[in-house]
Amino acid sequence: MSKKTVLIAAAIFISLTILFTISMKIAGTIFGTGNANLSNKVGVGLIEVKGMILDSKETVRQLRYFMKQDSVKAVVLRVDSPGGIVAPSQEIYAEVKKFAAKKKIIVSMGSLAASGGYYISAPATMIYANPGTITASIGVILKLSNIESLMDKIGIKSYTLKTGKYKDSGSPLRQFSAEDRAMLQSVIDNTHQQFVKAVAEGRKLPIEDVRKIADGRILSGEQAMAYKLVDRLGTLQDAIEEAGRLAGITGEPELLLPPKKKIDYMDLLAEGAEGAFNGPLGRATGGMSMVYGAE
């Protein structure tokens, strides 16, 4: 590659970076991506967890922010999630537990608060669910596929170099052995026991009672209440009003939203570039994740 070609490529990259940064800053100005100030009025904070739980950072940031605000006397955690990856769910659980030790935190379950969605709810001060909310699903799942026969049919051979017999366990490019199954099942069983223990501690239930329903089954809000996985049936507004009462607020509480996370546009650009490389690389190396319920 000639020096001229390199210089042209570098100039194009720099120009695109500058254009991207300016565009994002303009969008931030238009749509208000900066931090907003909380009202000085005493009230109840609202945090929302929607969709798959793939990362804990934003929810943890909001919980910690509200913890430091004297004007926020309690928080409602609105959960509408089918579950997600194990570690982020555990990190949010731990933060909810810390919050509940100092301030009241009321969970309001939306249409779906199952598996990881239930996991993060368990240590709250109180849990509200709608009668038809789908919840529980206390279990762990790891799905694997094998495409070895397909590779043979299209004439592609795969070769693996590894440092131990388990290093490529679960690879779609070779047969799943009995040893692989036993090793991975032991990990899943251990993670499942962590889930059961977390629910038992969070809900202050005998661990044997939790084990009886920790088989992956889903429950409606009404059913979950009968098993003491939920405290009350009610709406988001009911949960907000209850949070106000528990916090000693007279009348309807002011609902306070967390400030929006300030966007670092250069980090966003860097993450996009990293994802372009890590996506194919992750698939090529056969990375795997255990999840609480969601597939």
User: What residues are annotated to the active site?
Assistant: 115, 167
Bridge partners (DSSP) of residue 111 are none
**CA of residue 176 relative to chain centroid, distance:** 29
First-last CA distance in the chain: 45
Residue whose C-alpha is closest to residue 191's, from 143, 144, 142: 142
7 class by beta-carbon count within 10 Å (0-12 exposed, 13-18 middle, 19+ buried)? exposed
E strand intervals along 11-71: 43-50
Return the structure tokens found at 288: 């795997």
In order, the DSSP letters of 136-205 are: E----B------HHHHHHTT-------SSTTTTTT-TTS---HHHHHHHHHHHHHHHHHHHHHHHHHHT-
Q: Is 256 helix (H, G, I), strand (E, B) or coil?
A: strand
Q: Is 17 helix (H, G, I), strand (E, B) or coil?
A: helix
Neighbouring C-beta atoms of residue 139, cutoff 10 Å: 21
CB 34 within 8 A of CB 260: yes
